[in-house]
Structure 1
Amino acid sequence: MSRTANGRGGHGRTGGTARRGTGAPEAGETAAELGEFGVIDRLTGERFQPEQTLLGPGDDAAVVAAPDGRVVATVDTLVQGVHFRLDWSAPEQVGRKAVAANLADIGAMGAVPTALLLSLACPGDTSTEVLDGLAAGVWDAAADAGIGVVGGDTVSADTLVVSITALGDLEGRAAVTRSGARPGDVVAVCGQLGWSAAGMAVLRRGFRSPVAMVAAHRTPRPPWRAGPVAARAGATSMIDTSDGLLADLGHVAAASRVHVDLSSRLVPVADKLRDVASALGGDALGWALTGGEDHALVATFPSEDVVPADWVVCGEVRAGTGVTVDADRWGGSGDPGYLHWR
């Protein structure tokens, strides 16, 4: 991919055909030593682009096919010290994590991803090892999803910031929004709950195992492919658990003007999660209900009969407002969900 950038306003925009830059930078260089276009070259390089990428990095903007005629778009930003720590996660894991958050959002709309854009802000002393690792994580995650990284932006900053924009296609279906839940619907989840929170609790104690929990925090693997499946099955609303099951169902309840009640005995709490909670003195159910960054999908369906396989029914929608667990407001351990600036 080209290292061409327009440079307007101090922003180097990647956005043409694939070719390599002039010579690979030496190992151990920094972002400042590479320079703006060198960083862009490092992040893009010669990479695979799928057929829906009509014009990839190298111009002022990319061109991506939109067969449906509508484009689903979302953006998610990861800030060092807020969303990740490089003493806990390798740069490649951070890149994968950034992509995962966006794929979950695309899936939660009932769409399939078509392309990604990567924006990177970093200090001048950021090493090429970090840049290469981030790029590898982003591109590998994109390849797993069958999509390409078609453009982006690079800027200098005091801390490392990774921002991904994802585009998606609805394949002719209506978007599944947060506002479609109706009284009488059932609530179902797909994916892991509480694993990322448990992994963070393990890391905070200075441990690196159980490996599965730590991996879930470092590189969540959302079941985004289950989103279109749910849409085809007739899901009335859907969201991903970026901030926690209770908090995100709260968004559904508010948008749909309904009351969501979960059953604690039906909320899927893995045995491994209970084991970690027992070892650390944590609350497995609390992690499952309030832990964020698992990016599981939660949806409402008109009846249990249409809930797809791999989804677990764990509650129901009623008339009213808010979210409860066993008909009571959540009173267990943990905040109901993560909020910035709180």
Structure 2
Amino acid sequence: MPTSSASPSEGTEAMNTLRDVGEFGLIRRVTADRVQPGTTLLGPGDDAAVVEARDGRVVACTDVLVEGVHFRLDWSAPDDVGRKAAAANLADVAAMGAVPTALLVGLACPRDTPVETLEGIASGLWAEASSAGAGVVGGDVAAGPAIVLSVTALGSLEGRPPVTRAGAKPGDVVALCGRIGWAAAGLDVLHRGFRSPVAVVGAHRVPEPPYAAGPQAARAGATSMIDVSDGLLADLGHLAAASGVTVDVSTSALVVPPRLVEVASALGVDPLEWLLTGGEDHALAATFPPGAVPEGWTVIGGVTEGDAAVLVDGAPHEGAAGWDHFAG
């Protein structure tokens, strides 16, 4: 992409690329003067990091973001890309009912990538990790044909059992915390060649997962939980399959924000589809016994006996349920 290489007309300073500074020069730049949380016992600079695990268990997950697939540098600033890469993983930790503690980052990119771009990505990673109480404790850098970020997140269960996808029971209610539909709306706007409304486009660039809601749900007795990354129906489908239950979503409980109504009207689409099938907002969906739903969560449906399935207002949803990397 144009933003991945420096133009000769941009001057000597703009030619400050990864080729110029090298792997270790880049690492020094992106780790200097960074503040680690108390859970980081040994940060970047050695063969491996050391992260505290007080109860002897570590929650771990990995996600990969590929330039041209998950992000475009003509749509998002480098800082946005870093925040998005971190958020996708930190939300998975929260969805287990855990508290994020650390990120490990693998980066591949062309040798002529401007250092400024990589420093921006690193700043976004550090900022998002810090917002969740975690640190960036290590990683690796390699040359590649495009920018690829592989982020591993670690988390602490703080003595609690993990909340998996497999615990939903008939009679439970389904609840949601965090926004949905916004990132999908922003992506549609960008695909149409627009850069506004800023709030909608910004939701695609940088998600806002409710990190604290994961441990909150675990403490409240959530029976199952999942990060909504591929679409509400698609991800509830994973939960239903793991639990062996039917999940029924009530559209009357899904409030379409006025801003999304306006954007949908301008684009000629149904905004409810963004809420049902749009991904990358990284809200949390969970099931709870009746009466156990904590503050800040909204009940959007229920769990019944039956084949593993997701219904919408009692009927199967027509069309795709969400994003599938390998469909088509």
TM-score range, shorter chain: over 0.9
Aligned positions of 1:102-121 closer than 5 A: 102-121=89-108
Q: 2:222 aligns with which of 219, 235, 255?
A: 235
- Give distance in 1, aligned partners of 2:50 and 2:110: 30
Deviations 1:169-203 (A, max 9, x none): 01111100000001110000011111000001111
1:337 matches 2:322: yes
- Give distance in 2, aligned partners of 1:297 and 1:272: 22
Letter in 2 for 1:116: L
- Give distance in 2, aligned partners of 1:27 and 1:208: 26
1:139 matches 2:123: no
3-state SS in 2 of match to 1:154: strand
The alignment yields a C-alpha RMSD, in angstroms, of 1.3
1:312 matches 2:313: no
Matched pairs, number: 315
How much does 1:123 deviate?
0.5
Q: Is the 8 A contact 1:31 1:39 kept in 2?
A: yes
- The equivalent residue for 2:64 is 77
- The equivalent residue for 1:283 is 270
How much does 1:26 deviate?
5.6
Deviations 1:300-319 (A, max 9, x none): 0011x211111110110011
How much does 1:267 deviate?
2.0
- Give distance in 2, aligned partners of 1:205 and 1:337: 20
Deviations 1:71-117 (A, max 9, x none): 00111111000000000000000000011111110110000011111
Aligned positions of 1:286-297 closer than 5 A: 286-297=273-284
Q: Is the 8 A contact 2:174 2:299 kept in 1?
A: yes
1:93 matches 2:80: yes
How much does 1:277 deviate?
0.8
- Give distance in 1, aligned partners of 2:165 and 2:256: 24
- Give distance in 2, aligned partners of 1:279 and 1:129: 36
Q: Is the 8 A contact 1:193 1:268 kept in 2?
A: no
Letter in 2 for 1:166: A
3-state SS in 2 of match to 1:35: helix
Aligned positions of 1:124-273 closer than 5 A: 124-273=111-260
How much does 1:27 deviate?
5.3
Q: 2:34 aligns with which of 44, 47, 51?
A: 47
Q: Is the 8 A contact 2:132 2:211 kept in 1?
A: no
Q: 1:63 aligns with which of 18, 40, 50?
A: 50
Q: Which stretch of the first structure deviates more once superposed, 178-187 or 28-37?
A: 28-37
- Give distance in 2, aligned partners of 1:146 and 1:300: 25
Q: Is the 8 A contact 1:70 1:169 kept in 2?
A: yes
Letter in 1 for 2:152: T
Q: Which stretch of the first structure deviates more once superposed, 47-56 or 288-297?
A: 47-56
Runs of 4 or more, structure 1, over 6 Å off, are none
Note the residue ranges of structure 2 that are not aligned, 5 or more in a row. 1-11
Letter in 1 for 2:130: A
- Give distance in 1, aligned partners of 2:144 and 2:27: 15
- Give distance in 2, aligned partners of 1:300 and 1:329: 20
- Give distance in 1, aligned partners of 2:51 and 2:147: 28
- Give distance in 2, aligned partners of 1:211 and 1:335: 27
- The equivalent residue for 2:4 is none
Letter in 1 for 2:73: L
3-state SS in 1 of match to 2:315: coil
TM-score normalized with structure 1 length: 0.90
Q: Is the 8 A contact 2:89 2:153 kept in 1?
A: yes
- Give distance in 2, aligned partners of 1:27 and 1:144: 31
- Give distance in 2, aligned partners of 1:144 and 1:327: 39
How much does 1:59 deviate?
1.1
3-state SS in 1 of match to 2:253: coil
- Give distance in 2, aligned partners of 1:27 and 1:150: 29
- Give distance in 2, aligned partners of 1:267 and 1:330: 15
Letter in 2 for 1:337: G
